Amino acid sequence: MLMKSIDYKVGEIPDIQAIVEVYNNSGLIWPTDDFERIAKMYENSNLIVSAYDKDKLIGVARALKKYIPDGTKAKKGVKCPKCEADELFYQEGCLTCHSCGYSQCG
């Protein structure tokens, strides 16, 4: 049996359309319609590992330096850059405003 050769890349952000294709083919339900948000998620990652079969992206993983549980409130005094409310919390690793819906990830 001939084994496939998988190439791994570390630290490079794959093409967002390719990431969305991997997500959509995973069998899991992912919110993949917001390309800008996905791009920001990867830009804010501390580690990205991608797997390729020839030139086709077949897997991708990203990691954040520090895990912050959903619902964690922002530090005291931090205000939303969009509406200046102080009702910020973390959702899926992104600082989010309860008042206006702003998210640092898009």
Same domain, 43 and 73: no
Read out DSSP for the chain? Answer: -PPPPEEEEES-PPPHHHHHHHHHTSSS----S-HHHHHHHHHT-SEEEEEEETTEEEEEEEE-SS---TTPBPPTT---TTT--S-EEEETTEEEETTT--BTT-
- Is the pLDDT confidence value at 2 over 80? no
- Is the pLDDT confidence value at 21 over 80? yes
Q: Give the pLDDT confidence of 38-94 residue by residue, as tens digits.
A: 998 898 888 899 999 999 999 999 987 667 888 999 988 999 999 999 999 988 878
- Record the pTM: 0.59
Count CB-CB contacts under 10 A for residue 41: 20
Same domain, 58 and 90: no
Range of the domain at 43: 6-63
- What's the mean pLDDT in 4-11? 90
Q: What is the pLDDT of residue 100?
A: 95
Question: Rounded to an integer, what distance in angstroms lies between the CA atom of residue 71 and that of residue 68?
Answer: 9
Q: What is the pLDDT of residue 105?
A: 81
Question: Rounded to an integer, what distance in angstroms lies between the CA atom of residue 62 and that of residue 42?
Answer: 7
Same domain, 10 and 59: yes
Q: What is the pLDDT of residue 28?
A: 82
Token pair in block for residue 40: 């920001």
Same domain, 54 and 71: no
